[in-house]
Amino acid sequence: MPKYVIERDMPGIGTLSQEEFEGASQKSNDAISALFPRVQWRESYVTADKVYCVFLAEDEDVVLEHAALCGFPAHRVSQVRTILDPTTSER
């Protein structure tokens, strides 16, 4: 399945408590369960005012469907074309 990065503008998200993050994670997991196997949540990175999520999904539409089901915005959805890391230069 293609990989997507979802950028969510969420002012103040970095100040949530552990319990609030657990609740948000559960909402996302519930939506993933409803959409499985069309989408998989890999991980998310939380900054002060944004969340960057990495999903595997059939297409962008299912990513947007997940956002609607769990109530989290998906301001930008970008399909990953390639992955670079320190080993990329090693052939």
pTM (predicted TM-score): 0.93
- How many angstroms separate the CA atoms of 84 and 43, rounded? 17
Q: Going residue by residue through the chain (91 aa), what tens digit of pLDDT does each one get?
A: 999 999 999 999 999 999 999 999 999 999 999 999 999 999 999 999 999 999 999 999 999 999 999 999 999 999 999 999 999 998 7
Which residue ranges form the domains of the chain, and what is each CATH number?
Answer: 3-89 (3.30.70.3090)
At 49 the three-state DSSP class reads coil
Indicate the pairing of strand 50-57 with strand 76-79.
Answer: unpaired
